[in-house]
Structure 1
Amino acid sequence: MDGTVDGFRYGAVTPVAAYLMACLGGALGLRCIVRSLPNARSWKPGWLALGATCIGCGIWTMHFIAMIGFHVQETRVRYDVATTVLSLVVAVVVVGIGVFIVGYRGTGGSALAVAGGVTGLGVAAMHYLGMAAMRLNGDVAYEPVGVVLSVLIAIAAATAALWSAVTIRGFLTSLGASLVMGVAVSGMHYTGMAAVSVHVHDTTGGTWAGESPMSLLLPMLLGPVVFLLLAGVAVMFDPLLAMAERPSAARRGASAESPDSGNSVRAPRTPRHQKGSPARRR
């Protein structure tokens, strides 16, 4: 029989908490990428790797916080540990590929398209790997249209996030970009969840096994959350992060200043039509 699926068992608590974690991971990742831009003053690969890890952990944490609220009335839901951990690894590695592409190749048309496509597919792969980690007394099926739409949303969100990471410098604009990224990632998740249906087996012959959501997900979520908090402290107290936002302003200020500023006085230029001797002007 078809199971009764409920993705909001705890009401708005899990969607809001999931959204906030997606925003936190996105904000830290964007700031780390900004920090990597002044090559002469930063260790670029390290900051890019930290940014990718922040974004990947934020997306993964968002997914499984949201999944705490997932419930099938006719059967309990459990999770396989190995597949759950694999989904985290996939999220970090694939997001890292996209981040390194834009970090070294910029946001040109082809580079951004490849980076956004790879990262978006990685986000979708993380989502569906996380879904594959579920163990329940039934079969999980997906509506193809919802799956395709969720993948397209993931690609669009990843492309926009990578573009903003390289082009946006200010703190407030980066914060706004992370909020939009959180909406897109959460929207991708719940679009994919709307495509889920469960066919429950005979409840007397359940052979499923695995860890319950509370016993597995809550301890596993603790690690990424602590990592994001520590990364936030590192980014917040980095004295050179602000310098990543200054070069453009400094260049604008330098171009606006007169080259004759200071105490030196320059003789006025003689108009071209007045050059020459008085005799020649007659």
Structure 2
Amino acid sequence: MNGTVDGFSYGLVTPVAAYVMACLGAALGLRCVARTLHYEQGRRAAWLALGAACLGCGIWTMHFIGMIGFQVVQTSITYNVPLTVLSLVVAIVVVSVGVFIVGYRGAAPVPLIAAGVVTGLGVAAMHYLGMAAMHLDGELHYSTPVVALSVLIAVAAATAALWAAVTIRGFLPSLGASLVMGIAVSGMHYTGMAAVSVHLDATAGHTAQGRTPTSLLLPMLIVPVVFLLVAAVIVMFDPVLILGDGEWSRGGRAGRREQPAPVEPSAFAPRSADPSRPQPHRR
């Protein structure tokens, strides 16, 4: 018997909240990666890591906020805690790989495509790993064409996000890019959810070990949400965001002009008089 799947049991609350978190993670990630243009290698790595963590947390938070609204009418759903935590780790790690590739290699076609494919496949793996953490009285079945479409959307969204991170400058363009990224990431999630059907086992009792969505997901969401808010405070005090890329660059150049490099004496420059040497008589 097929179960009745409802992905919007709380109406528009969960998809809108999921979209907002996806946009927040994308916006913070884009600004952190853009910040690397103004720092040397050591600080660049720190900003890239912060940007990757923001993107990964935003994607994971979006996914599980959306999953709070997912239910099967005929059975309850529980979640395996280790698999749920592992999905968060996967999200951050794979996004970090893509961000560091483009952060050090730039948006050239080969590194960008490689980073986009790795990141997109990782995001899709995070999604389906989170789905595997679900336990219910039945089995989940997936439509292969729809799953393939969701993976393609994930790769395209990841590639576009990484390209935007290293090419788009300025606050308003980055904000617009983050809104588009939120649509793409949310679209991947709900496309993947559209591939799901549930075949119920009417003879089995619900004996799966785990925790309900509200008892597990809501407390778990607190940590990445707080992290994103703290990262937002850090980015808001970013001089590039406050002054703008152009003003910060001009300020940096002005600072460098205040400390000119020492000029080496020229071989043809006149030498200082040596009192021990006789000087030619001038008429």
TM-score, normalized by the shorter chain, greater than 0.5: yes
Alignment CA distance shift 1:144-1:235 (3 Å): same
Other-structure match for 1:165: 165
Matched, 1:175 2:175: yes
Other-structure match for 1:277: none
Q: Which runs of 5+ in 2 are unaligned?
A: 251-283
- Secondary structure at the counterpart of residue 169 of structure 1: coil
The answer to whether the Cα contact below 8 Å between 1:35 and 1:244 also exists between their aligned partners in 2 is no
User: Given the two structures, how large is their TM-score scaled by the length of structure 2?
Assistant: 0.85
The answer to whether the Cα contact below 8 Å between 2:32 and 2:48 also exists between their aligned partners in 1 is yes
* Counterparts of residues 40-59 of structure 1 (less than 5 Å): 40=40, 43-59=43-59
Matched, 1:202 2:202: yes
The answer to whether the Cα contact below 8 Å between 2:240 and 2:248 also exists between their aligned partners in 1 is no
The answer to whether the Cα contact below 8 Å between 2:3 and 2:74 also exists between their aligned partners in 1 is yes
Other-structure match for 1:23: 23
**Identical pairs, percent:** 68
Q: CA deviation at 1:41?
A: 9.2
Could you give the per-residue CA deviations for residues 237-265 of structure 1, whole angstroms, max 9, x where no partner exists? 12355567228985xxxxxxxxxxxxxxx
* Counterparts of residues 88-127 of structure 1 (less than 5 Å): 88-127=88-127
Determine the C-alpha separation between the residues in 2 that align with 1:204 and 1:187: 34
Alignment CA distance shift 1:112-1:242 (3 Å): farther
Letter in 2 for 1:170: G
- Secondary structure at the counterpart of residue 221 of structure 2: helix
Q: Which runs of 5+ in 1 are unaligned?
A: 251-282
Letter in 2 for 1:218: L
Other-structure match for 2:5: 5
- Secondary structure at the counterpart of residue 2 of structure 2: coil
Determine the C-alpha separation between the residues in 1 that align with 2:239 and 2:248: 18
Could you give the per-residue CA deviations for residues 14-63 of structure 1, whole angstroms, max 9, x where no partner exists? 00000000000000000000111223497000000000000000000000
Q: How many equivalent residue pairs?
A: 252
The answer to whether the Cα contact below 8 Å between 1:38 and 1:244 also exists between their aligned partners in 2 is no
Aligned-residue CA RMSD (Å): 1.9
Determine the C-alpha separation between the residues in 1 that align with 2:40 and 2:206: 60
The answer to whether the Cα contact below 8 Å between 1:107 and 1:163 also exists between their aligned partners in 2 is yes
